[in-house]
Amino acid sequence: MFDEVLTDNDYSALSEFRYAIRRFLHFSEEAARAAALEPQQHQLLLAVKGLSLRGSPTIRDIAERLQLRHHSTVELLDRMAEHGLIERTRDTVDQRRVFITLTPTGEDILKKLSLLHRTELRSSGPALVEALNALIGEPTQSLPDRSGATS
């Protein structure tokens, strides 16, 4: 694997992909801060909402999704509970398990941020897809540019 040849185009594709990701992450971080959240808090709200569609997320599930240690996740959840964004509920069968749910306030903030993110992805997503396709060698389809015209 490491003896494969990388071309200048490969490096350029990697660079463009990382740039597209970084631009989106920067947008996301700034949007979270504008909503009076730390970026990690926004990620947690989104993780809880996404995981809850498959069942009741636990601290372990959220820690895995955020790639955090258990104790760091607990500290983050403590701060968010203090702000009224999440609630904890003990499992009735196994009292050691704690389920996390969003409060109506948490749901409202997440919805507003998610709408902003969807709008941003509609505008910047094609560049991200194009950069990824260049990187993995998939043929690029004619994607609409920001004005809606196909290239």
Write the pLDDT tens digit of every residue in 80-100: 999 999 999 998 998 889 999
Strand ranges inside 50-138, DSSP E: 86-90, 98-102
User: Residues 18-42: what's their mean pLDDT?
Assistant: 96
Predicted structure pTM score: 0.83
* b/e per residue 85-95 (b: at least 16 CB within 10 A): bbeeeeeeeee
Flag whether 86 is in a domain: yes
Q: In this structure, is residue 146 part of a structural domain?
A: no
- What are 57-86's pLDDT values in tens digits? 999 999 999 999 999 999 999 999 999 999
Q: Rounded CA gap, 20 and 126, in Å?
A: 10
- Give the integer Cα–Cα distance in Å for 26 and 49: 22
Q: What is the predicted pLDDT for the residue at 4?
A: 82
**For the chain, what is the domain count?**
1
Distance CA 14, CA 12 (A): 5
CATH number at residue 111: 1.10.10.10
The 8-class DSSP code of residue 141 comes to: P
The range of the structural domain enclosing residue 14 comes to: 8-136
Question: Does residue 150 lie within any of the structural domains?
Answer: no
Asked if 70 contacts 60 with a C-beta cutoff of 8 angstroms, the reply is: yes
Residue type at 145?
D
Type of residue found at 115: L
**Angle made by CA atoms 55, 61, 62, in degrees to the nearest 5:** 110
- For the chain, the residue count is 151
